Structure 1
């Protein structure tokens, strides 16, 4: 979204309307019950999501996985969206294909874009084993061979008998993969590299562990022309079937950057569209590596989740008197804001998951204010923070005192126009958004990770005499804007306040979600 400045002597009828701020919801968390009702719940919530300002949903992997309770990252069949009796059920954990298409209709009706989670690195739960020749490699350096070539029985045979060739006739065999982690003949678990003509780990992957092509299960060989043909066709089919406006790619550190570029460009060409949104999970606390990855995609319009910012939030929430002026240090959004999807938590960093990044509850509203109410980055809200975490070892209620929806709504209504920062104190930050010609209200934000915070900030002389209040209701007083456009804006200790004209359009919408 690009704010449109007011041009002198420009008639309102000639000005371009300001686009509504885009806000993404990760529409799931790891411990959602496996009752196959999730697509239905999302469809039922679509109108409420649109009302608070959510413009896109990142939905979980919609394809058939290893079983009816699987979240989809242990993927079995790309072409089964909960339509065929495979791996113990017709529906996926999230619901049936029919339910998914109802969600598609509800999203379309409410102007919400859908991004599907694409798991293209590996396949799991093969239908049968196949014999092939491998070498075992060192797990800490996959470029080092630690065995002689030998045969194994690997789970490489994918026939999809329940689907019976509908949508795709392609069957997977050992030569469509580069590695696996299990020899069924000897019941041995290790990392086995498949040998054969043109067989090697993908070169355009992260260099951790020497070569990080192998992650889990049966690792796909994206250089194989039959593999490319089937996955490319699937991408076009899925996008058309679900009316997708984009995709989130799982584990992009681990599969070929060269193939990812081919996949994206093929999809754009086949659909004759360059407007699709693509974001990758390159989860690494390294701005240098993330920037280099984006550079290597060679002009492909692509985004990454801002992992370094998440770790900054985690550190800030657990460090007494953390210097908030450093919150963007080393972050993707500070260096490449157009390519940064900002977030506070996701399904991998939530409690009890492999990449857990603990963020203390008091800091969640501060972190969300930072990603939602500033001009830079594309914010992604986590389902577990908006709706709560229903299961797992420690269920949790919605974060931000149940008012995350109000923070999202404040973005939709008021976070527009020029941004002026007041980053002059270590434990208290402030900024103002000045509004645009057709969204003139603007807002003033104050947050503190210590005691009560106060910022003397200018919202513009055009607001002189207006009375502003905190849309969250956490600061109870009223503030009158001075003739020079300045006022003293406060927030409670270890909290945040969002100040807006008490008469601004939309003020009566808060607190309804």
Structure 2
């Protein structure tokens, strides 16, 4: 009987030590009864700057209805140096040209593509964000700090034109854009022939967004003014204003070939807003447009994993970053998800840092939302995550373990970069788990700063790591 009991106890002990548990971690190399043996001194962190991997992150440099009105460009000019120091390599600006709403416009009701705050129309000279001179100063300041500047481009629809009789609709429509009607610059004047329906085509291949001011990209005149002519929108923005790349608004409203034609003409970084959580839809669009896309599939899987269902297995579902990591622009929040107290399409504040930890450690190109970065409760944590992303978030992605409240992922690094292990927990208590790392006989530390535990891997790379309650940790080697 004693022999049987001893075997049962041994099996029970092995089962317990091989599983995750709440509470303090157990060092598998320790033989003192489960109390970890800390190193005699606190390990020394590696210098993350020494592992710079050439990556950066993009800052979405606005939110819906930014304040102060008429002072936004100047405010951003004061911030770009700090953003560059933090590891940001691109800033995405709001739509820079004059909209129908004048001084209140966020730019998504475009009227005059060439009015950057210098013509008196729609009740204002400056745009909501400031004057043309202030915009040019911002772009110059960004370039001085090696930041690319991304222009938000709205090609689907126009607003603010004058009334004219439209024979294709047999009524008057607001489709007349000239010096007296919403286009004071006199460049790219338009009339009903430039909008659907007309003598060229009836509609886009995609959905109509503004039924009466839906731009027809099949019209040669429209193509000339948008991207072909030497003073087209694309070439003027790049060669005169100094923009380096493009964020295309509402690409569901027109065919992917439009984005491809634009990029073939002027080049530069580009990303499309294809507002769809279906990864297959995003994959098809990047294949046809040749452009990167915001990974709405990843966004919704994070929202489901952390908030809606509180089940981290949703992080195993399809995302653009899993099939086209080089074309996936990941994000946690943007101007649409955060406006008007929109609760159905946002990641809750309590789970934002876990979500940033996810996008900053996985493949894809991360975007940081202005309001999140400038939040003093988040800022230092996001800055550290950017530093981690730009250094040791390297190599193939391998999910080591996932269940409803644990997610552990390894970036394998390379011959000169150690990589990392991310551990996210949705549990109300601290979690621990033994995993197989790429590191043998080395002491690890959590570079997120959320844990002060210093485990040591064994000769096979086995190591027990921990994650704080409803939090995350990011592990890598020490000196």
TM range (shorter): 0.7 to 0.9
TM-score by length of 1: 0.76
Task: Establish whether residue 460 from structure 1 lines up as the match of residue 455 from structure 2.
Answer: no
Aligned equivalent of 1:362: 350
Q: 1:478 to 1:267 in 2, by over 3 A?
A: same
Other-structure match for 1:244: 243
SS at 2:214 equivalent: strand
Residue of structure 1 in register with 2:22 after alignment: none
Matched length: 423
Using the alignment, how far apart are the partners of 2:306 and 2:273 within structure 1?
Answer: 23
CA distance 1:116–1:496, shift in 2 (3 Å): same
Select 2:295's aligned residue among 294, 306, 309. 306
Q: Following the alignment from structure 1 to structure 2, what is the Cα–Cα distance between the partners of residues 228 and 355?
A: 39
- The one of 164, 171, 190 equivalent to 2:189 is 171
CA contact (8 A) 1:453 1:491 kept: yes
Superposition pairs for residues 318-329 of structure 1, below 5 Å?
Answer: 318-319=307-308, 321-322=310-311, 324-329=312-317
- Say which SS state the counterpart of residue 32 (structure 1) adopts: coil
Residue 63 of structure 2: which of 19, 29, 39 is its match? Answer: 29
1:157 is matched with which residue: 151, 176, 179?
176
Residue in 1 that maps onto 2:452: 476
Determine the structure 1 residue equivalent to 2:15: none
Partner of 2:220: 225
Query: Secondary structure at 1:327's aligned position in 2?
Result: helix
Distance 1:37 1:461, change over 3 A: same
Deviations 1:393-433 (CA, angstroms, capped at 9, x unpaired) = xxxxx664762222122212322234443124432112233
Kindly indicate whether structure 1 or structure 2 has the higher relative contact order, using CA contacts under 8 Å at least 6 residues apart: 2
Q: Which residue of structure 1 lines up, in the alignment, with residue 368 of structure 2?
A: 381
Partner of 1:62: 96
**Aligned equivalents of 2:415 and 2:136: distance in 1?**
39
Q: Does the CA contact (< 8 Å) of 1:351 and 1:357 recur in 2?
A: no
Question: 1 CA distance for matches of 2:403 and 2:343?
Answer: 31
| Structure 1 position 342 matched with structure 2 position 330 | yes
Structure-2-length-normalised TM-score: 0.81
1:29 Cα deviation (Å)? 0.9
8 Å CA contact 1:123–1:217 kept in 2: the answer is: no
In the superposition, relative to structure 1, how do residues 90 and 492 fare at CA in structure 2: closer, same or farther (>3 Å)? Answer: same
Structure (1/2) with the larger strand percentage: 1
Residue of structure 1 equivalent to 2:287: 295
Q: Does 1:40 align with 2:85?
A: no
Contact 1:64–1:81 under 8 Å retained in 2: yes
**Contact preservation (8 Å) 2:121, 2:184:** no
Structure 1 gaps, min length 5? 1-16, 136-150, 179-193, 206-211, 269-275, 389-397, 504-513
Larger radius of gyration: 2
1:339-364: per-residue Cα shift (whole Å, max 9, x none)?
A: 21111111111142679513222321
Residue aligned with 1:101, SS = helix
Note the 1:145-224 alignment, pairs <5 A: 151-161=170-180, 169-178=187-196, 194=197, 196-203=198-205, 205=206, 212-215=207-210, 218-224=213-219
What secondary structure is seen at the aligned counterpart in 1 of 2:78?
A: helix
| Cα distance in 1 for residues equivalent to 2:402 and 2:203 | 50
- CA change 1:157–1:164 in 2 (3 A) is closer
Partner in structure 2 of residue 427 of structure 1: 405
State the shift of 1:28 in Å: 0.9
| 1:82 equivalent in alignment to 2:117 | yes
Contact 1:61/1:117 (CA < 8 Å) preserved in 2?
Answer: yes
